[in-house]
Amino acid sequence: MKQDKMALFRPVLTVVAFVWILGAMLALPPLLLAVNEGAHTTRSFVYAAAAFFIIGIWLRSRARQQRFEVSSQQLYLITVASWSVLAVIGAIPLYAAMPQLSFCDAFFESMSGITTTGSTVLTGLDAMPHSLLLWRGLLQWVGGIGIIVISIAILPYLRVGGMRMFSTESSDWSDKTLHHAQEFIQNIGLLYLGLTMLAMGCYWLAGMGWFDAIVHAMTTLSTGGYSTHDASMGYFNDRPLILWFASLFMLLGSLPFSLFVAFMHGKKNALLGDSQVRGFLAFVMILILLFSIERTINSDLDFFRVLTHVAFNVISVISTTGYASDDYTQWGPYAVIIFFYIMFVGGCSGSTAGSMKFFRFQVAFILLRNQLHLMRHPYAVIPSKYNGHVLSDDIVRSIVAFSFYFAFIIAAIALFLSLTGLDFITSLSAAATAVTNVGPGLGDVIGPAGNFSTLPDAAKWILCGGMLIGRLEIMTVIVIFTRTFWRT
Amino acid sequence: MKQDKMALFRPVLTVVAFVWILGAMLALPPLLLAVNEGAHTTRSFVYAAAAFFIIGIWLRSRARQQRFEVSSQQLYLITVASWSVLAVIGAIPLYAAMPQLSFCDAFFESMSGITTTGSTVLTGLDAMPHSLLLWRGLLQWVGGIGIIVISIAILPYLRVGGMRMFSTESSDWSDKTLHHAQEFIQNIGLLYLGLTMLAMGCYWLAGMGWFDAIVHAMTTLSTGGYSTHDASMGYFNDRPLILWFASLFMLLGSLPFSLFVAFMHGKKNALLGDSQVRGFLAFVMILILLFSIERTINSDLDFFRVLTHVAFNVISVISTTGYASDDYTQWGPYAVIIFFYIMFVGGCSGSTAGSMKFFRFQVAFILLRNQLHLMRHPYAVIPSKYNGHVLSDDIVRSIVAFSFYFAFIIAAIALFLSLTGLDFITSLSAAATAVTNVGPGLGDVIGPAGNFSTLPDAAKWILCGGMLIGRLEIMTVIVIFTRTFWRT
Ligand SMILES: [K+]
Ligand SMILES: [K+]
């Protein structure tokens, strides 16, 4: 029995050890910046990096993994454990370097970072040591590539929310597929790095300082949304080009990275030939256009200025980035509703974006259309296909279950939040913005002009759970808490 | 072609003619009351009754139906047409008798009546002519029995939201099944009448005047919620027995009437042996208990007083009746969330209650549990059964589609409402309360202490649509607006 348990957890331990070592390496760039800032932050990052490294090496020696062959049960555990550990790692330097910060706040900020949610409890960002701002950016950047890897290399092999539709082979996860996937994942990593550097250059050309350009590039591509200014991207409102570059790279961050790689390898049709990408881009463009026309008619602003801000804020929310250039909840009651709705859309599968993802809406649309047809023609045989894949019962049930759990988790979290005393709109929008990994909520407290620092600690812990569950496609986390999961 | 169209609409015309004649008969009891009230309301009801009768007879002569054999296409049309016509019929006496009322308001009040929603645009109910108050009560009472008949005699034969699970035979709808069902429906009608008279007697014994007892009995059993007082049932707050009788009969109104009939015919196990009834009652009781304990601890009121009001308001919302004894949105932020959630539950199928209905949640729960099991044991074969029925793919898809359309319709209506200028919470809760047929919304405007009269006309028309769509199980209405529906 003891032996069995060790065998179960050994691969988990191996990955967790790797995560600690990764944490140590991540702490090095901020450490370099900290050296110029004074003893306080330097000491925090030195101690943190050393501790992470020692813990990692120690765990690695404990794990002693020979062959890397894992069951689906272990894949679930690896995914959830590595993200939880990363959240702890992220919190430690913040907690150490900011004496006024509670551990709850540090953990919230870190979880919000690695899940690329971007809700913040910090104020006074403009005056904050650069090492800490870079650390927040790095957490989101790593969180972004982390979720892409998981959604390409792990989720398709599990029965999570219909992601199986995107698996290249139906075989189980093993050494063979891992090695097969390794090169592919390296390509994606290089692409992610390349796009980030491109964004950096564009931001710099458009007028950002180098440090702002670096951090914002990392939080844009990862659709994370952490900024170096309390005003978020609103700080750059006098430079529309910055907002347009941000819109472009947020949009790129919410497209499927595997199709980018295919595109780079000469498959010219890989992106625009994909139903999800085409549908998503069309939806975003039509929404921006209609919204801009309405805003231009009902305000005294010129069309280009309106278009800049509408495009920026719509893409920011739909890509689940959560930057704000403006308090869009002041645009009118219908704007609040529209921004609330598009929080649930999210980007495409296999991107850094969170939330439901566009393909689930497309599949739901096909199902709903077919159902109406069947009501009138009960014996019709309707072929259900999406993007060239047959919509098998297996995948359909998986997508449906995902949607139900998604709604159920948001409802449950909103209820728990209301029990801590938060009002209706704050509870509901905080739950939604956490699970969808968008960042800002609605209402006076946590709206785009607000901040999460005033929430009670209990609410922050609940939201940490919500962000993690949402980031890992809901059921990956829930399944671990079922009895059947632990039955051998 | 002309001939075809006539053949298609002839059964529809026959039923619509019957509805007009029914309207004329319904106008007679208020007419009797009106005679004592003065010329104004008397004239309205005399003219209305006469007009309804003439229109009915004329349509009947136009229809000249020989055999009554209808297709599923015609059943959809019959259902939607008869409810729409009933809404027009209900509006006419209100519009005629109240010169200050716009037709939009009269139609809203009527639609809210026949769909047993109970949202009102009228104030000063306490001083209103009894004939008009009785008319409102009658509209709800007829709406209540109407929906029971439709959900037993029509919906199971169509592919609407998994109602097929409750069909006794899988054959198509025809003369044979109609005659077979006729006796059954007569029994249900008698039971509905009997329960209403019982409620009347109980209300009277508990201290209501006769007129109040009659109207409230009708709007309780139909889970409609129209009252004869602006304070709704809060008018009787000093008589807890009235609130308890109301709770009892609202609960009875949200149980499946076909099981009542089986119970009366000696099947002692018919009600409590049914999974839906058992689950629903257990859910309601546990919720009331937990809620009451919390309220007793966090207030200085005694347990019995708290229990009375919690039970009354919880049952009022979950049964989609919508009476209020108290402004429950003042009970705390978590209460707002809980009442918002239980709006979506509704009662059991085949009752007068609206909303999603309890069995759909139970089926969803089974699916979600199975899905978690499959994630860990992908090749397990899990038998899906509910209440003794195998959950076929057919029924599951139908229930899932219903849930998605339900959410989609509420979201769309909330968006349209926000475009008329309503704020977030008013738009969202008005859409929800209309589609679920509950009645009161949330927020200052349309909350349990508020009123729908201040909404713009456009919002009222949109809500009329929402109430009708919600009452007729969503897809019954939507399907008519598809191209495929009209293709032969
Ligand atoms: K975000
Ligand atoms: K109602």
How many angstroms does the Cα of residue A156 sit away from the middle of ligand 2?
45
Q: Which residues of A touch B374 (CB under 8 A)?
A: 159
Q: Is there a contact between B371 and A478 if contact means CB atoms under 8 Å apart?
A: no
**Residue B170's pLDDT is what?**
40
Alpha helices (H) along B377-487 = 393-419, 424-435, 443-446, 457-471, 475-478, 483-486
**Residue B240's pLDDT is what?**
93
- pLDDT of residue A301 exceeding 90, the answer is no
Tell which B residues from 429 to 448 touch A, by Cβ distance under 8 Å.
442
**Residue B58's pLDDT is what?**
93
Q: Is there a contact between B159 and A393 if contact means CB atoms under 8 Å apart?
A: no
SS3 string, A139-195, reads HHHHHHHHHHHHHHHCHHHCCCCCHHHHCCCCCCCCHHHHHHHHHHHHHHHHHHHHH
Tell which A residues from 286 to 345 touch B, by Cβ distance under 8 Å.
333-334, 336-338, 340-341
How many angstroms does the Cα of residue B299 sit away from the middle of ligand 2?
29
Give the minimum alpha-carbon distance from B73 to chain A in angstroms, rounded to a whole number: 7
Q: Tell me the ipTM for this assembly.
A: 0.91
Opening angle at CA A22, ends A21 and A28, nearest 5? 95
Q: Which residues of B touch A425 (CB under 8 A)?
A: 424-425
DSSP label at residue B385? E
**Residue A172's pLDDT is what?**
45
Mean per-residue pLDDT over chain A, rounded: 89
Which of A179-183, A249-253, A438-442, B30-34 shows the lowest mean pLDDT across its residues?
Answer: A179-183
Do B234 and B243 touch, CB atoms closer than 8 A?
no
- pLDDT of residue A175 exceeding 60, the answer is no
**Residue A65's pLDDT is what?**
62
* Closest Cα in chain B to A402: B368
Written as six digits, the tokens of B48 are: 């209305």
Could you tell me if A159 lies within 8 Å of chain B, comparing CB atoms?
yes
**Euclidean distance between CA atoms B163 and B395, whole angstroms:** 8
Burial group, residue B365, by CB count within 10 angstroms (0-12, 13-18, 19+): middle
**Residue B171's pLDDT is what?**
42
**Residue A1's pLDDT is what?**
46
The domain spans of chain B are: 2-181, 385-486
**Euclidean distance between CA atoms A268 and A199, whole angstroms:** 22
**Residue A447's pLDDT is what?**
85
**Residue A209's pLDDT is what?**
93
What percent of chain A is predicted at pLDDT more than 90? 62
Nearest to B334 among A158, A376, A415 (CB): A415
pLDDT digits (tens, 9 = 90+) for A7-28: 788 889 989 999 999 999 999 9
Q: What are the Cα distances from residue B328, in Å, to A104, B244, B247, B306, B311?
A: 33, 17, 16, 12, 12
Could you tell me if A74 lies within 8 Å of chain B, comparing CB atoms?
no
**Euclidean distance between CA atoms A164 and A145, whole angstroms:** 20
**Residue A169's pLDDT is what?**
42
Element (H, E) at A358: helix A358-376
Could you tell me if B488 lies within 8 Å of chain A, comparing CB atoms?
no
pLDDT digits (tens, 9 = 90+) for A334-364: 999 999 999 999 999 989 999 999 999 999 9
Nearest Cα to B358, choosing from B437, B215, B256?
Answer: B256
**Residue B176's pLDDT is what?**
53
pLDDT digits (tens, 9 = 90+) for A370-417: 888 888 887 777 777 888 878 887 788 888 889 999 999 999 999 999
* Closest Cα in chain A to B476: A375
Per-residue pLDDT of chain B (488 residues; tens, 9 = 90+): 456 677 788 889 989 999 999 999 999 999 999 988 877 889 999 999 999 999 999 998 887 766 667 888 888 999 999 999 999 999 999 999 998 999 999 999 999 999 999 999 998 999 999 999 999 999 999 999 999 988 888 887 776 767 666 665 444 445 555 566 778 888 899 999 999 999 999 999 999 999 999 999 999 999 999 999 999 999 999 999 999 999 999 999 999 998 888 888 888 888 888 999 999 999 999 999 999 999 999 888 899 999 999 999 999 999 999 998 888 888 888 999 999 999 999 999 989 999 999 999 999 999 888 888 888 887 777 777 888 878 887 788 888 889 999 999 999 999 999 999 999 999 999 999 999 999 999 888 898 877 899 999 999 999 999 999 999 999 889 999 988 888 86
How many angstroms does the Cα of residue A113 sit away from the middle of ligand 1?
8
**Euclidean distance between CA atoms B57 and B21, whole angstroms:** 7
Could you tell me if B371 lies within 8 Å of chain A, comparing CB atoms?
yes
